[in-house]
Structure 1
Amino acid sequence: MQDEKEQLILLLKKQIDGQLSAEEGRRLHDLLSRMSTEEQEDIFNNIWLETVEDEGLQHPFSEEEREAVLSRVLEGSTADHIPPSRPRRFGIQASLSAAVVLVIISVTAIFFLRRETKVQPDLPSPGKIAQVADVDPGKERAVFATEDGKEVTLDREFVGTIDSGNNFRIVRLHTGEIKYQHIEGHPATRHTVRTPRGGQINFILPDGTKVWLNAASSLTFSSNLADDERLVDMTGEIYFEVARDRGRAFIVKGNFGEIDVLGTKFNVNTYDRRRSYAALVEGSIRLRTGAATVKMRPNQLTTIAGDGSLKTSVKTNLKDLIGWKDGLFFFEDADIQTVADQLSRWYNIDVEIIGNKRRNEINGTISRDVKLSKMIDMLAYLGLTCEFSNNKLIIKNGRKSL
Structure 2
Amino acid sequence: MFIFRLLLKNAFRHKLRTLLTMLGLIVAICAFGLLRTIIDAWYAGVDGTSSTRLITRNAISLTFPLPLNYAERLKTVEGVTGISWSNWFGGIYITERNFFPQFAVEPASYLALYPEYVLNEDEKKAFILDRQGAIVGRKLANQYGWKIGDQIPLRGTIFPGTWAFTLRGIWDGVDAKTDESQFLFHWQFLAESVRKRSAKGADYVGVYVVRINEPNNAPLISERIDAQFKNSLAETLTETEKAFQLGFVSMSEAILVAINAVSFVIVIIIMAVMANTMTMTARERLAEYATLKALGFSPGFVVKLLFGESLVIALMGGGLGMLVTLPIAAAFAKAVGTLFPSFVVSETTMALQLLASAIVGVVAAAWPAWKMSRIDIVNGLRHVA
Which TM-score tier does this pair reach, normalised by the shorter chain? Answer: under 0.3
Higher RCO (CA 8 Å, separation ≥ 6 residues): 2
> Normalized per residue, which structure has more helix?
2
TM-score, normalised with respect to structure 2? 0.22
**Which protein shows a greater Rg?**
2
TM-score norm. by structure 1 comes to: 0.22
